[in-house]
Amino acid sequence: MSIFIPDSETKLYGLLGKTLSHSISPSLHNNGFRDLGINAIYLMLETKEQDLGEYIGSLKNLGFAGWNVTIPHKESIIPYLNGFSSLARAAGAVNTVLNRRGRLTGYNTDVIGFQRQVEETGFKVKEKRAVVIGAGGAARAVIAAMVQLDLADITIINRTVENAAELAKLFKEENSKQNFDFCSLEEQEYA
């Protein structure tokens, strides 16, 4: 096994989040880079929410080519970006950032990932009902995919009912075709 030694041409990538010790992303990406002969390295980029803006500035200045975004930054990163894709806009969350000459663009690949999984099952979801548990960045992506798949009714269940209500309201304002409802986990336990 050879040891990878970064040089001035090495592209920098990483996973941006708060608690990352459980993640296998660096291992997956670095093995892929090695196997494909790509001169790049993928690092853990742990930061707290209150330090996010300064941290992103540092990533830009260090020349990071891009990074994935995970909990709790999928929504809070948006104000620090120069632009974002239509899917990221629809989801209201970003899980991938590309740095092109100092311009940061956010993307959401969770929307496409969920949509493809549903389509590959062959299950027809058009005008069906669905329940989403959670109201964070991944839930936003799943709901955005459900809207594109033309589901009729979407109920959001969350521990903090206010977050579920806010998310339902947000999607209701953008998508008059679907019915959105919400409730807390406690309410659902007795339903």
Beta carbons of 124 and 105 less than 8 angstroms apart? no
Co-location of 82 and 39 in the same domain: yes
Across all residues in the chain, what is the average pLDDT? 92
Q: 120 with 98, same domain?
A: no
Could you give the residue numbers annotated as active site? 74
Residue 74 lies in a domain: yes
- C-beta separation of 95 from 141 below 8 A: yes
Would 70 be classed as within a structural domain?
yes
Domain end: 61, 77, 107, which one? 107
The reply to whether 128 and 172 lie within a common domain is yes
Q: The whole model's pTM is what?
A: 0.79
For residue 183, what are the domain limits?
A: 111-189
- On the question of pLDDT at 177 being above 60, the answer is yes
129 has pLDDT over 60: yes
pLDDT of residue 137: 82
Distance CA 79, CA 94 (A): 11
Q: What is the pLDDT of residues 70-117, one digit of tens each?
A: 989 999 999 999 999 988 988 889 999 999 999 999 999 999 999 999
Assess if residue 5 is contained within a domain.
Answer: no
